[in-house]
Amino acid sequence: MLLLRSKYLLTDPYNVINNGAVLIDNGKITFAGPSDDIDRQESHQIIDFGNSAIVPGFVNTHTHLELTHLHKSINYNGDFTDWVRQIINAKKNWAEDEYKTSIREGITRSLEAGTTTVADITRNGLALDELKKSRIRKVLFYELIDFNTYSAESTIGNFKEEINRVKHDSLLSIGIFPHAPYTVSKELYKRCIQVSEELGIHIATHISETKDEVEFLKKGTGNFVSLLNDYDMLNNWKYPGLRPIEYLSNIGVLRNSWILIHCNYISEEEIDYIKKSNSSIVFCPRSYKYFWHNKHPFLKFLNLKINVALGTDSLASNDSLSVLDEMKYIYEKHKDVRPQDILYMGTIAGAVALRLKDKIGRLESGFDADITVIKFPEEGINNVFDGIFSHDSECMFTVVSGSVCYDKYKLALFGH
Ligand SMILES: [Zn+2]
């Protein structure tokens, strides 16, 4: 049994305990509360973290770990489709090994940042083996791209074949990821939601990320036309004349709790559709900034009680795979958002989106022990959230399902 103690314990964002302790037994939390309330028994291995906070492990609700090696090798010039072309070209000559090391590095960076769950997108299935080997919790989304009306069925067939080889374990679940409305046909979107309902798996998509995307769907014009023509993908596609979320709603697929990635440009009417479908939105703050967008409507979503989780997206549009860094960024830029709500977005909201809220996201007896410890800087802290979101705070310890996955200062001498 492992007993973790520290100056602060947050069992959830709204419950701060001074001098707190968490007891872990067999992968589960068996106690979380004031340190004085627990008997010190010899069977406990005790780690005292001092000036720090024990918090629920962070949930990265959107990332592409296989792009980790593209860090700083892509330049954004204001044209999203040009960025897409650069990614395609950069990966063109990658061998299997390059993908695998990129994914492995992504997993390591995630754990070092206190992330205990990743929702990862894979194009070629190579992430499966690497993620399965790792003790990080994962939802693996298989990305489908097919803009041809007539081949939706065979694309779904390939997907089903692919996921048939997945051996399930308690840390892994599967999702289907139709890439985006500019690369996925109406027929394929329809089959994806059916398959998600039939197999009981997660469904997510990139949506309303750029003004180009909105223009392409509304008018059939703009930068996406030449991008798709270059790859011979436009074929028989007819633009729907609708905004992205309107489009999903209009073709009858926006139902049953989607995970909608980005939602950067959303009309009032579309917000209504999102709410009615009980979907979650994933906001990727620093990727949003990378693409020169300004003023994401996430506050509006939060006020309407829509679930908003956080994602880092990939290192092709970000500087780290750290959800903590995303939260620090919001803390610094949005003084009007309560810090508790920021931590909620980085923990429980992700668990809600990934249908894991009864297992992770809180430190309570009976929950899986997915925990991270944030070390505070020595000075200048006014309150616990100042400590967690301070520029100089750092993740020092990460536990997933009771296993110590990162231990910066080698405190767990006896392993676990
Ligand atoms: Zn993405």
pLDDT in tens, 290-345: 999 888 999 999 999 999 999 999 988 899 999 999 999 999 999 999 999 999 99
Measure 230 CA to ligand 1 centroid, in angstroms: 21
Q: 416 pLDDT exceeds 80?
A: no
Rounded distance from Cα 154 to ligand 1 centre (Å) = 24
What average pLDDT does the segment 1-18 reach? 97
CA of 307 to the centre of ligand 1 (A): 18
CA distance 279 to 95: 37
- Do 240 and 247 contact (CB within 8 A), yes or no? yes
Ligand 1 center to residue 383 CA distance, Å? 34
Cα of 182 to ligand 1 centre, how many Å? 14
Give the distance (Å) from ligand 1 centre to CA of residue 62: 6
Distance from the alpha carbon of residue 24 to the mean position of ligand 1, in angstroms: 34
Cα of 148 vs centre of ligand 1, distance in Å, is 22
Alpha carbon of 5 to ligand 1 centroid (Å): 37
Measure 276 CA to ligand 1 centroid, in angstroms. Answer: 24
Q: Is residue 414 pLDDT above 80, yes or no?
A: no
CB 179: neighbour CB atoms within 10 A? 17
What does the block give as tokens for 121?
């997108």
Average pLDDT score over residue span 105-110: 96
Does residue 258 have a pLDDT over 70? yes
pLDDT (0 to 100) of residue 415: 44
Calculate how far, in angstroms, residue 371's C-alpha sits from the geometric centre of ligand 1: 25
Domains of the chain and CATH, by start: 2-57+361-407 (2.30.40.10), 58-353 (3.20.20.140)
pTM, two decimal places: 0.96
The more confident residue out of 144 and 39 is 144
